[in-house]
Amino acid sequence: MTSLVERLGRSADSKLVVISCDDLGSCHAANVGVYRALRNGVATCASLMVPAPWA
């Protein structure tokens, strides 16, 4: 079975870090920060707070 690391084009012994942004949608500042982190490649994913005021 092929590992996720290998499917991402890395060698099997590679170590990867996933940086997730939390609280997207909680406020305007959080949305701006999450957008910047994703756009600049600092973060690799985010979680949305659907019932939050800025979602």
Is 1 within the bounds of a domain? no
Residue 19 is encoded by which pair of tokens? 């940086």
Per-residue model confidence (pLDDT) at position 40? 98
Question: How many structural domains comprise the chain?
Answer: 1
Is 38 within the bounds of a domain? yes
Encoded amino acid at 45, one letter:
C
b/e sequence 1-35, b meaning 16+ C-beta within 10 Å: eeeeeeeeeeeeeeeeeeeebebbbbeeebbebbe
Per-residue model confidence (pLDDT) at position 20? 96
Per-residue model confidence (pLDDT) at position 25? 97
Is 55 within the bounds of a domain? no
Q: What are the residue ranges in the chain where pLDDT is below 50?
A: none
Residue 24: domain span: 16-48
Is 54 within the bounds of a domain? no
Per-residue model confidence (pLDDT) at position 22? 94
Per-residue model confidence (pLDDT) at position 7? 93
Is 6 within the bounds of a domain? no
